[in-house]
Structure 1
Amino acid sequence: MNDYILILISAALVNHLCLHQQPLPRLHLHVHGLACALCIALGVIGAQLLAQGVLAPLHIQDLALFLLLSWLALLAWGIPWLLAKWRPAWPVAGLPALLSSNAVALGLALQQASDDSAWSSTLLQALLAGAGFWLALALFADLRQRTKHADIPGVLRGLPIELIGAGVMAMAFSGLNGLFTQ
């Protein structure tokens, strides 16, 4: 349950503070979502490689945070560069600063660096977390668009209604908790 709340509140804050353009272009939103998903997936997989290939054999697990921050910073600057080379028409101008502030990637990378889980579960968790963050960004953009013309009290406009929406979505997603366990 805590993971849902943290991911949704993180997406709400990123959407509100960083992607606060009126109206938000859908292409910009989806490019940012794709970049976040790639950053999370590659960050978690790199954290697993780093933990098992470098940190564990050298017995320097205390340097995990320093090395993971460096790895995620490299990804935050490299992914937009690669996306710009792959699709020059995509808007990737402000993505490095947004990706470097993504706490979801760091949290999952630290979690995977401390766990000894299988590669398949690491890859699945990374891909699902990236896709979930992308979905949360799209949901909050739609929430902002729907509440723009709705009759909402002035005190609740903007970030407060988005955080209320994050709480409601977290409760809805918590209903899915345990759905796929045996």
Structure 2
Amino acid sequence: MNDYVLTLLSAALVSHVLLPPSHLPGFGLACAVTTALGVCGGRLIEHWLIAPWQLEDLRLFLLLPWLAVLAWAVPLLLARLRPGMISQGLGTPILGNALVLGLALPAMAEHTPWLATLGWGIGAGLGFWLALTLFADLQQRTEHEQLPRALRGLPIALIGAGIMAMACSGLNGLFTQ
């Protein structure tokens, strides 16, 4: 679980630093949809292409084009479905997120059931959206004059990420098998 928490927090921190706060709601939704579709599509690629042709060594190279298509298509789909939400220019940060790839590879390798894979993808996407929302709230709360100048910007974001990592690590072992 620690690997997943660290992946979530690092991706959220990198995305939070690279994107303006006005893009975060659209980015969070796009990442949630991309994660769910990426994990489920990765399972389909595993089932129809990798396992029958015994291409286990090429798993990464077969999954990356699928994730690139999703990173391009999901913001376009969201722009049509929710015109008021900012979704332009989100393809590159979504493609850069290791979250989708980090979740899709273990799901493909462990051969979990379809419903569990779908739940895992949706849960991870919603958790990532929550982490982005918390980081956006942190950024909004730290734009005060009372905060020392040396802590403004990235230093306070790193402190907030550390506190969130400690809070998430408290959940370690909660859902053991």
TM-score (norm 1): 0.89
Tell me, in whole angstroms, the C-alpha distance in 2 between the residues paired with 1:55 and 1:150.
56
Query: Please, which of 86, 100, 107 is the counterpart of residue 105 of structure 1?
Result: 100
Letter in 2 for 1:158: G
Query: Please, which of 24, 45, 65 is the counterpart of residue 50 of structure 1?
Result: 45
TM-score (norm 2): 0.92
Matches within 5 A, 1:116-155: 116-149=111-144, 151-155=146-150
Q: Does 1:158 align with 2:153?
A: yes
Aligned-CA RMSD value: 1.6
Tell me, in whole angstroms, the C-alpha distance in 2 between the residues paired with 1:134 and 1:171.
18
- Count of residues in correspondence between the two structures: 176
Structure 2: gaps (5+ residues): none
- Contact (CA 8 Å) 1:84, 1:90: kept in 2 or not? yes
Q: Secondary structure at the match of 2:29?
A: helix
Matches within 5 A, 1:15-54: 15-17=16-18, 19-20=19-20, 24-25=21-22, 28-54=23-49
Letter in 2 for 1:159: L
Structure 1: gaps (5+ residues): none
Mean CA deviation greater in 123-132 or 109-118: 109-118
Structure 1 consecutive aligned stretches of length 4 or more whose deviation exceeds 6 Å = none
Letter in 2 for 1:8: L
Tell me, in whole angstroms, the C-alpha distance in 2 between the residues paired with 1:90 and 1:172.
30
Cα offset, 1:181, TM superposition:
4.1
Percent of pairs with identical residues: 52
